[in-house]
Amino acid sequence: MICIPIVDNNIDDALKNAEKALKEADIVEFRVDMLDDVNESAIEEMVKYPCIITVRADWEGGFWKKSNDERINLIKKAIECNAKFVDIELKEEKNKELVKFRDEIGSKTKIIISYHDFEKTPSCEELIKIVEEELKIGDIAKFAVMAKSKEDVLKVLNVINKYNGKIIGIAMGEEGKLTRILGVHFGSILTFASMEGKASAPGQIDVKKLKEIWKLIL
């Protein structure tokens, strides 16, 4: 499965580009934290598309600088509206509360619990510990770490392989590009690809180029 991040700063462009992206990808990720102005009615429009709703906090490398309560309310709205996925940080203190909320209202939303390290790739043991912790909370574990070597790439692919179908694993940066190409082959449920040069993280490959590579090697 290919996911294209939607990184526009206004809702009209975001929805327009989501439609365009879904001609190439299976799903889009709305980076709600990148929007200049967002409210619950905007979330209602977004969830009409197959999507991940992400309101990434600034303390996790995102752009959300308003109150955390407002951020949580937007995530709750996405859950109420049965968004396909919502992404909630492992470090978010209310992540278990949000899962409980989902269960109590009978929402069909799948919850991704995510971890990011923009400096390095932790050891396999550390990554496994992170993934185990995430899977105790949500439906899908996600980690995105910074690769500095081929060894880092191997660590990521090994961990993805261990949790086939329950994980999204990515190594960011130029060294990590192989994980974006091979990750789904090893068990990652999706990979993120860019569209028209708009990327949400370093190392994302253009969606058309990614498909060409897959045709050749997979």
**Model confidence pLDDT, tens digit, residues 190-205:** 999 998 877 777 778 9
Question: Catalytic annotation on 142?
Answer: yes
- Residue 116 annotated in active site: yes
Q: Is 133 annotated in some ligand binding site?
A: no
pLDDT digits (tens, 9 = 90+) for 104-159: 999 999 999 999 999 999 999 999 999 999 999 999 999 999 999 999 999 999 99
How far apart, in whole angstroms, are the C-alpha atoms of residue 170 and residue 157? 9
Over range 49-64, report the average pLDDT.
96
At 202 the pLDDT is 72
pTM: 0.94
Asked if residue 30 belongs to a known ligand binding site, the reply is: yes
Residue 200 annotated as part of some ligand binding site: yes
Would you say 192 is a known binding-site residue? no
Class of domain 2-217: alpha beta
Q: What is the pLDDT of residue 203?
A: 76
Active-site choice (77, 116, 155, 177) = 116
- Of the residues 76, 77, 142, 155, only one is catalytic, namely 142
